[in-house]
Structures are given as C-alpha cells and as structure tokens.
Structure 1
C-alpha cells in the first residue's frame, strides 16, 4: 500500500501541495481529479521522487521512501508514466524497451508480451521513437513502465492528446492490470471514465484534497458538482 501523509512540496519558494494525505490500497484504481494547475502532476512527481518532499511522509509497504531516489522507488515496484508520451526519441521502439528490460533471460519474453499488448510496437519496432505517432509513443511509454514489473503504476493523463482508439487500448490495459492485482494511481481529466472505473477517487484543488470517496457510476455526479464549485 502507498500512504501519503501531510505532503508538502513545490518549486523553489512556491508551495504547490499543502498537506496532502491519501492512500492507494493493495488492489484497484485510485483516480486523482482536478482542474489544470490544481497540483495533480506535482503530487505524482513527488510520490515518484522527481520532486523533493518538503514536509510529510510517503510510505510504500510500510517503508518510508520520501528520501529515496526515483530509481530506488522503481526497484521497489513503483513505475511512473508522465504526461507527454516521453521516450528516447533517437532510439528505436525496440531499443527503448531493451534499455529498460535489462539483460536477464526473461527480457525477450517481457518485450514480446508488450508487443502482444500493443501490436504497433511490434510493427514499428525498428522505427525511431520520435517518428512514432503520439499514441504509439504513449503505448511505448506504458510498455517501458510495465517492463520494470511494477506493483504500482502511476499514470498522469495517459490519454491526453492522442486518438480515441489508442485511448481505448490504454484504458483496457489499465483495467486489465488492476484486475490482476497491480495498483493504479491515475490522473485523468475524463471524469465519467475515471470515477466509474476507480475504486476510490480524490479531488485536488489548489494543492489540497477537497473531496474523496468511493468510485462507481453513482459518484460521477458528486465529482462533477465538486469540480464546478
């Protein structure tokens, strides 16, 4: 379980998060919702260690990790897919995956599994990542994260700016992962999908949690009401 308590973080002297407390249970999806600038991405970066926590605690399976480097958090089973379909543009799709998968004997099987999940990565495995479409780059970014064998996958607006058919594939992946016991922490703008399919949700505004509850279709109206205030 991931537990965040009293988390304060920001950029320089500017505080963005003001005492965030939340948890991600051992199974299911937790959706983080809020308007642009609410602090959602700052929260994800702080959990991943890309931004230093100024105050508060981040615990992963009862271990305090708030001072660990990002690579140490990855080793402990946390993976992060940031906004922007990030990859190594000059490397091919296959080289991007090989870089993450390492050199153990199961590497080829893991990469093959990712290519089965996203056939375009097999079709364009020799194409440089910078020449892939936005949707294909996002699939590559998710595949690279999954190659680390995470127990918690953090997705920051995975469907932003990509075609609907690819968004549907990514959503199926997320639901499949959650069904197999991988924890998912999802930042999402599409309220209906996120709230309907999550186990729990939190709404962030001005760096604070202003609402939280159980997911499900019956909670969509509540979240929409909070976000219009």
Structure 2
C-alpha cells in the first residue's frame, strides 16, 4: 500500500491492485496441501485447538441474512437484499477456513450477466432496475462450505421381486358369441434377498451458512474443486 487507498482483487491475477496509484501487492499462495481431518477427532478439538478468528457479526432485520463487514466498516447495505444496516459491536468466534477458491468472474462479466438476466424478465420490479443501474451495489461474496469424505458400508435384507410372463386363456364375447382368447400376463416372483453395498464419497460439499436458501446455493453448483 502506497497512497492509502483500499486495494482491490481482480479475478485471474494473483495481486491486489490499487485503482488510484496502480500499486500492486502480491497475494501469497500457500504451497502446503490441505490435510483432511478425522470427523470425530475434529469435533473433539473444535473448542480449543482448531484455528479460529474474531469477526463482527451482522444480522439483517429485513431478510434475515447474517454476514460480516470489514473491521473498519460500520455501516452499509445488506449484500443479499440491499437494505441499509449498521454493524453492531457483537463479536463471535468462527472457524478459520483452510482454503479459498478465488473469483473466476470479473466485475464486468458479472455486470453483463446480471443486466442480461434482468432484460429477460417481463415484469421486473422498478426497484430492481434502479438497483441494477448502480454498479456500486454489485459485490462478490465468499460462501463457506464444508467438504466431507465418507467411506460407507450398508447391509440390507428384504425381498426381491422378479417379473415373469405367462400365457393365460380367457373367454370373451365378440359379435354376440362367446370365444376363447389367450393373452400375456406379467406376474412377480418374490424371493428373499440380502447383501452388503460399499461406496466411497469424495469431497461432498455441505453449505456452512444459513444466510442463503438451499435452492439458491444449488444453482451455484457444481464447484470446480480440481482447478
């Protein structure tokens, strides 16, 4: 930092850039791998040994979302509904994330996609259109997730039904006369069944926040965890 202004992150680069003087600060990229933790052991250590950080928790009374501002910011707008909020001096401990996926979409790309989506709405509220005209309202949000691995084994016991077909004879009335016909009938043969199924689930994502509805976060998936 040289001129004292806030630095901004640009997707696709590994620097923070000042929009006023052009100074850049490199973002340190950790080389150490992310170590997967045992679930039960981690639960036991959460209270004392797992890295945590203090943050100012903000609750929006309009939409019910919870989020946090920067330490130096005490007022602003809710990033979910746009309502004005004032940060309360209520701090709480939260788990420090082990990794972060950087943004892949630039502000211009996000603005273009938002305006295109808005243009496809037939009856968009006027407040939403006014909100879209102010580019300052467009801000990226980091959403926390847990990743789980599970090696499962399931035993089952029941009955198995197998379809089979037989030919049967029946009598019908055609043109006022009784005739004999045949048809194919499907039946089910039941037999005892039991077994064991094993399956490994890798990197199952579970949302670690209640601020966003599940139907909204499901539209953001799938996340590219490989890159």
Q: Same fold (TM over 0.5)?
A: no
Q: Give the structure-2-normalised TM-score.
A: 0.21
Q: Give the structure-1-normalised TM-score.
A: 0.21
Greater share of residues in strand: 2
Greater share of residues in helix: 1
